[in-house]
Amino acid sequence: MTYLASQYLEQTPMAAYMSFLPQLNKPARRYFSNQYNNIWNEYQGMLGQESQTTGQLPKLTFMDFLKNYPFMQKYGALTPQQTGSYPNLLKPPARLLNY
């Protein structure tokens, strides 16, 4: 990545975030398309932690944070309600037959 492109992505965090979504499968992409603020807050928390731990300005960039972010692991740990998928909605109810 060229310097100008990386500089643009650091100055435009939403573009950086959205550039990671196409690599996800469709359900995960749909879920994470609405999670920018939560992930940005998680990143800010890591910056604060790094600052407190080292006593210096943090060096972690948002792009580096996103490169190591476990999108699919986080998605896999969610309940179907959290992801907005309701698999039982399409299944017909089971019928018990007495013979």
Residue range 43-98, pLDDT digits in tens: 999 999 999 999 999 999 999 999 999 999 999 999 988 887 766 655 666 666 67
Average pLDDT, integer, range 8-30:
94
Q: Which long-range contacts (CB under 8 A, 24 or more apart) does 73-77 make?
A: 75/24, 75/27, 75/28, 75/31, 75/32
Residue 21 has pLDDT above 70, yes or no: yes
The pLDDT, as a whole number, for residue 48 is 96
The stretch 6-23 carries a mean pLDDT of: 94
